[in-house]
Amino acid sequence: MRSSFKNITCIILFSTLFFYGCQDNPVLKIFQRDLQLNILLKNHGDLHQGAPVMVVGSFNQEKKKIGIVSKVAETDSGVFNISISIDHRFKKDITNNNDFILINNIFSDIESQILVVESAAHYTPEALKSGTVIKGKNYLEYTLSMSFQGMNGWLKDMISESQQFLEELEQKINSLDVNSLLSQLEDYVTTLKKYSDQQRAVFERDVLPALERLINQALKLFENHVNEKTLQEIREKYDQIEKIIRA
């Protein structure tokens, strides 16, 4: 009797696996584990539990959701540890040749998310294992790092300085520190006046679009906190920078 019961149970289980032999089968998911990774970032950019993890072949291609953010935690050193869970169906495609980019809603109308892209560096592909800790990049770091390709030393230094400037600017915007923002823009105007024609051309191509997005976001965030005169000062500082660069 017991033997017959065991046989029936096995038949039912096998039939269930066979009938629902697809990727979304909840029975199969018991035996398949999602990929768990930890992404280290300087800031969390409004990421929250449940935010999407997306993937693209190249940065401008259509995105596909492959997972979610499972936890956002600040470490003792002030760095944020972003735990992400990638669906088991896609984990074989996630390798050491991928970059993990924080897309902050400060740069777009979409919710903050982690974007997985192909890295500029190419190694012998190795699938990542659960528990792997990866140094992520924010949007500015990623786009400006792409500008490093083929650059000589002093141009790389210029882009690195610009990246630091934009990151500091973003922090001041997020903290609604309008006075420090204006002061930093004024200081940068002085720096840009010393740029050569080549430096200005690189800045216009690789930095100015990001700066424009930051300033537009600042104007939106500050409009309920400062008067119109202060908003106009921010616009004028950006216009001054744009005029110097495009002179």
Domain boundaries defined on the chain: 1-30, 35-138, 147-245
pLDDT value at 20 more than 50 = no
Task: Compute the distance between CA of residue 158 and CA of residue 56 in angstroms, rounded to an integer.
Answer: 29
SS3 179: helix
What value does the mean pLDDT take over residues 3-13? 54
Task: Compute the distance between CA of residue 193 and CA of residue 65 in angstroms, rounded to an integer.
Answer: 44
Does residue 160 contact residue 213 with C-beta atoms inside 8 Å?
A: no
Mean pLDDT of the residues in the chain: 81
The more confidently predicted of residues 18 and 144 is 144
What is the structure's pLDDT at 19? 44
Q: Which residues pair with 65 in a beta bridge?
A: 54
Least confident of 114-118, 172-176, 222-226: 172-176
Q: Which residue has the tokens 């104007």?
A: 219
Does residue 47 contact residue 70 with C-beta atoms inside 8 Å?
A: no
Characterize 63-93 residue by residue with b for buried, 16 or more Cβ atoms within 10 angstroms of its Cβ, and e for exposed: beebbbbbebeeeeeeebebebbbbbebbee
Q: Which of 94, 102, 88, 96 is nearest to 39 (CA)?
A: 102
Q: Which of 66, 74, 69 is nearest to 98 (CA)?
A: 66
pLDDT value at 12 more than 90 = no
- Sheet with 80-86, edge to edge strand ranges: 133-135, 35-41, 80-86, 64-74, 52-55, 113-118, 98-103, 137-138
The DSSP result for 183-224, as a single string, is: HHHHHHHHHHTT--HHHHHHHHHHTHHHHHHHHHHHHHHHTT
Name the pTM for this structure.
0.62
What band does 152 get if pLDDT is binned at 50, 70 and 90? low
Residues 6+ apart with CB under 8 A from 68: 49, 50, 51, 52, 53, 84, 85
Note the residue count of the chain. Answer: 247
What is the structure's pLDDT at 27? 47
Task: Compute the distance between CA of residue 71 and CA of residue 239 in angstroms, rounded to an integer.
Answer: 40
Task: Compute the distance between CA of residue 143 and CA of residue 136 in angstroms, rounded to an integer.
Answer: 13
Q: Which of 38, 134, 23 is nearest to 88 (CA)?
A: 23
pLDDT value at 85 more than 90 = yes
pLDDT value at 157 more than 80 = no
What value does the mean pLDDT take over residues 20-46? 70
Taking only the tens place, the pLDDT of each residue in 105-138 is: 655 567 789 999 888 667 788 899 999 999 998 7
What value does the mean pLDDT take over residues 65-69? 95
pLDDT value at 226 more than 80 = yes
What value does the mean pLDDT take over residues 213-233? 89
What value does the mean pLDDT take over residues 137-158? 67
